[in-house]
Structure 1
């Protein structure tokens, strides 16, 4: 099928070139026609006949029309031969542009509303004081107020104790304040004072009561690193035993905590309470006598 199309295409091309190159000599054709007609008249009469001018022009016009007809038929034949079949037209289906509906209009996403966070529960215990994550203290804008340090370790329903955590090492330490309340407290402020013995700097703090119930401030005052926890207004401390801890770096080697101290003030009902103490190591012999 492809070879046949190539042969036809070559033939059409050659015919087309021959038709374009052919230039008919109209004057010569007319002269031959006129000469033939003259000879025909001579053969009939035996002498040359003179044609009227009008009749001569009619003959010339007729001959011209005949030549034009021949040329037209020839051109039509050549054009038919070189005419290529036009490929069938194909219709392309074009879908109309859809009109956006109101539902398809883009809208900002609706963000889900987070539920109110549940208050943190006291998961720390005195038996593992160094396990809770450290809380980054906020720097105090002003020097922390010093709580009275002349009170005893117990005042009515409030009891306290201070100790250096056994997990402390040659570069880091944690001091714990334990507070016991036999009644609900509506006010409570706890303060820890760490003497600057060299290289002392805060590394964090925590408490076993809910974090959101207290504000914490840390600052330097009179050669001490001071941590202060204040119970927020409207919050309460239930009965129980609670721990407040301050963590800090210090110079290499064993650190003496004899100058460290703590103090706390509280309210139980209408009663104002206050306790204070230090971090001196307890004598085992004294403890044995007290137990006996």
Structure 2
């Protein structure tokens, strides 16, 4: 019984390997091989007497022949396919940044602004340390716009700060002191101001930033989300 189990296991293994390579009509091929084995004999039309083989042995022998046919067919198919070079494909390049350098920025009116007062936020992101930095916020004079203060998330002692009106704008400017460094990270600069009652349209406001890193001088600029604050 042990021999039969081993043969059965070998049969299943060979069938699995052969099936993985090709998919012809296995039943038809197996029947044809078994008929050929049963008809094989001596010369002169007389069969040579032989001892009958167990059924499992006949099936195993037929399977070896079938596996050889299947493997040969699979190899032929593989060589035929591999002979044709794959059609060329065009691969789209991933979209790159349209703002080269370490700086990224965004401007927004603070959501806590109200009908009398507002705060404009500049978010500056840098992927490299900066040895020089100037950030400027320009708030359009839309009526009764007056400064009420400013702040930044970096140390106050690292910057000089000015605020004043110029050319129809309330201008806030932060400048990094010589010898100081802005580390890589995300930083905020904010200007606060009163304005006429009833909210304020920030579409005329602007900001800009210029910086120096190891890779050279870089700059960013932008506006603020259109609409009224407050």
TM-score range, shorter chain: 0.5 to 0.7
> CA–CA distance in 2 between the matches of 1:190 and 1:211?
14
Aligned CA distance change for structure 1 residues 153 and 179 (closer, same or farther; 3 Å)? farther
Corresponding residue for residue 187 of structure 2: 242
Rg larger in structure: 1
Q: Is the 8 A contact 2:133 2:210 kept in 1?
A: yes
Deviations 1:80-102 (A, max 9, x none): xxxxxxxxxxxxxxxxxxxxxxx
- Could you list the structure 1 runs, at least 4 aligned residues long, displaced by more than 2 angstroms after superposition: 152-155
Tell me if 1:209 matches 2:154.
Answer: yes
In the alignment, which residue of structure 1 is the partner of 2:167?
Answer: 222
1:97-112 paired onto structure 2 within 5 Å = none
Unaligned 5+ segments in structure 1 are 1-151, 283-292
Residue equivalent to 2:198: 253
Tell me how far apart the structure 2 counterparts of residues 203 and 154 of structure 1 sit (CA, whole Å).
33
Pair 1:190-2:135 in alignment: yes
Q: TM-score, normalised by structure 1?
A: 0.44
SS at 2:157's partner residue? Answer: helix
Contact 1:153/1:159 (<8 A) preserved: no
Unpaired runs of 5+ residues, structure 2, are 1-96
Q: Secondary structure of 1:203's match? A: strand
1:159 — aligned with what? 104
Q: How does 1:13-32 map to 2 (within 5 A)?
A: none
Name the residue aligned to 2:176. Answer: 231
2:124 alignment counterpart: 179
Check the 8 A contact 1:174/1:248 in 2, yes or no: yes
Whole-angstrom distance in 2 between the partners of 1:260 and 1:154? 21
